[in-house]
């Protein structure tokens, strides 16, 4: 399942790296990319419940999740 997560508050490449590092630590996530221009994380996830896990690690980095599209 491919998902997109809208992230508010990313301003630089360091922000992108923080989100990528945190999200890539979630087991079952693959093909991860974070786009600074549109503020989106796109990834393939093995199970739907990983959406909440990803939202949590992004918020732990200090960013706001403003939407999820599956």
What CATH code is carried by the domain that includes residue 30? 3.30.70.100
Domain hosting residue 30, numbered range = 2-69
The model's pLDDT over 11-41, given as tens digits with 9 standing for 90+, comes to: 999 999 999 999 999 999 999 999 999 999 9
pLDDT of 8 reads: 97
- Determine contact, residues 43/19, Cβ cutoff 8 Å: no
Residue 65, C-beta contacts closer than 8 angstroms, at least 6 positions apart:
5, 6, 7, 8, 55, 58, 59
If one counts the domains in the chain, the total is: 1
Q: Supply the pLDDT for residue 23.
A: 97
Please give the share of the chain, as a percent, with pLDDT higher than 90: 99
């Amino acid at each position: 399942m491919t998902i997109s997560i809208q992230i508010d508050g990313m301003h630089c490449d360091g922000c992108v790296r923080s989100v990528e590092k945190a999200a890539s630590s979630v087991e079952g996530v693959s093909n991860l990319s974070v786009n600074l221009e549109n503020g989106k994380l796109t990834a393939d996830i093995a199970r739907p419940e990983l959406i909440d896990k990803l939202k949590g690690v992004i918020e732990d980095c200090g960013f706001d999740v403003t939407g999820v599209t599956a």
